[in-house]
Amino acid sequence: MTTAHNLRPLITTVFVPSAIFGIGQGAGAPVIALLARDLGASVPVAGVIVALVGLGAVLGDLPAGRIVATFGERRAIIGGSTLGAIGVLLSLLAWNPIALAVGAVLTGFSTAVWGLARQSYLAEVVPIGMRARAMATFALMWRLGFFVGPFLGAAVIVAFGIRGGFAIQLVGVVLSGALMARVPDPPRESGAAVPTVTTLPQILRRHRRLLSTLGTGSLLMGAARASREAVLPLWADHIGVDAAAVSVLFGIGAAVDLLCSYPAGYLMDRYGRRFIAVPSLVVIGVAFVLLPFARDLVTLGAISILLGIGNGLGNGVIMTLGADVAPPATRAEFLAAWRLTHDTGMFTGPLAVGALAAVVPLGLAVVGIGLVSGAGAAVMYRYIPVYSPWPRPPVQEDVAREAVPPNAAAVPEPR
């Protein structure tokens, strides 16, 4: 029987680099808007520049699958790290808002390529019985780094100024890329040994039913999870809670998020993906619906903890589902399309909050995002058993990794 001991070889090659990468992103993220303002950008323009990181990730999802399939995980990581270093360096040296915006797009683009290469690597080397734990640990280490990054960045900013956050991010990108680039590409399954020239449009057509059903659940989960980063500060400002207190609430929520992350992976491996995905979205949805009733710091803190629980429970769900349903012959290309669904939700969720708040009271906008989360839970409940059934057919644990994709017996895809 597989035990957690088997994940130890991944500590220095995947998990530690993920934490270092997260530290860099955590250090750089808070200073983008501040540097944009220092360079003369208005508040709305500064907000757009921050959003360009997410847009870059969406744009990066489009070619990432072909890049990984063509060059392999190792070279994709080297290329992604190089592009990311250029983007961060451009941000570090930015002389006007346009240069900073270009750096933000390049950084997001490289993150998409780097992330897909890591996910594809884990999908290849980790047995299906431990897949959720591996994906959850990978995501956990990134979140841990992102949690630590702002504190480390703050210390450097005090010493060297606002651009110090980007200096930490540059070191994180280069160091994490160098660590993971030491690992050779994994041997391919026999089903994936023949080179393919599958394009993203072909993947979208071939898997249109899966992507329009389960993929919709992935999109809605991305929108719900990203929206919390916009909703909580907006509501705090609405009820008069100051920025410092909001930062503390975010820290508390992030800590709870981390505590829930690894148990979520263990429970997914033991009881299936739906066992975690649906409660995660339900908890987030309930938190959003309750948020308009928060009238002071204590009740807002309780909502922040609830959001942290919901987000932590969903740690690794999207990556695990993608690895479950990805066909080995076109794994990287499919994972690019799969990541596109979630990243699109991550990008559009906060924008939807702003758009709703512009036409209806903020409380109604928050409840609307809660309904989006509930819709995502319903979609996941309906379609996870169709594409990632649990318990899985016995043949898939051993034979599938040599001969057939894990989902081959259960997911007839339309052609």
Distance CA 39, CA 29 (A): 16
User: 236 and 135 in one domain?
Assistant: no
Given 185, 210, 236, the domain boundary residue is 185
User: 396 and 348 in one domain?
Assistant: yes
Supply the pTM of this predicted model: 0.76
The amino acid sitting at 236 is A
User: 61 and 148 in one domain?
Assistant: yes
User: 120 and 93 in one domain?
Assistant: yes
pLDDT of residue 415: 33
Distance CA 268, CA 376 (A): 18
pLDDT of residue 377: 96
| pLDDT tens-digit profile, the chain (415 residues) | 334 446 777 888 888 888 898 888 878 877 777 788 788 877 567 767 777 887 888 888 878 878 887 888 888 888 888 988 999 999 989 899 899 999 989 998 888 888 888 888 887 888 877 888 888 888 888 888 878 887 787 788 778 887 888 898 899 989 988 888 777 766 655 444 444 556 777 888 888 899 999 999 999 999 898 888 778 777 887 888 776 676 677 778 878 888 888 888 889 988 989 999 999 999 999 999 999 998 888 898 899 899 989 988 988 899 889 888 888 878 878 888 898 898 888 888 877 877 787 788 888 988 998 999 999 999 999 999 999 887 766 544 433 333 333 343 333 333 3
Distance CA 228, CA 249 (A): 12
User: 166 and 220 in one domain?
Assistant: no
Residues 220 and 376 sit within 8 Å (Cβ to Cβ): yes
CA-CA-CA-CA torsion for 392, 396, 401, 403, nearest 10 degrees?
-140
Residues 6+ apart with CB under 8 A from 128: 324, 392, 396, 397, 400, 401, 406
User: 358 and 233 in one domain?
Assistant: yes
Given 185, 212, 240, the domain boundary residue is 185
User: 349 and 211 in one domain?
Assistant: yes
Closest CA to 91 of 103, 79, 82: 103
Tokens at residue 66, please?
């072909």
User: 213 and 126 in one domain?
Assistant: no
pLDDT of residue 140: 85
Task: Give a yes or no: residue 192 inside a domain.
Answer: no
User: 76 and 110 in one domain?
Assistant: yes
User: 174 and 280 in one domain?
Assistant: no
Number of domains in the chain: 2
Task: Give a yes or no: residue 149 inside a domain.
Answer: yes
Residues 55 and 187 sit within 8 Å (Cβ to Cβ): no
User: 100 and 78 in one domain?
Assistant: yes
Number of other residues whose CB lies within 10 A of the CB of residue 283: 22
Task: Give a yes or no: residue 412 inside a domain.
Answer: yes
Task: Give a yes or no: residue 193 inside a domain.
Answer: no
User: 268 and 415 in one domain?
Assistant: yes
Distance CA 380, CA 313 (A): 14
Task: Give a yes or no: residue 336 inside a domain.
Answer: yes
Question: Where in the sequence is the domain holding 259, given as residue range(s)?
Answer: 198-415
Given 185, 214, 245, the domain boundary residue is 185
CATH code, 325: 1.20.1250.20
pLDDT of residue 289: 94
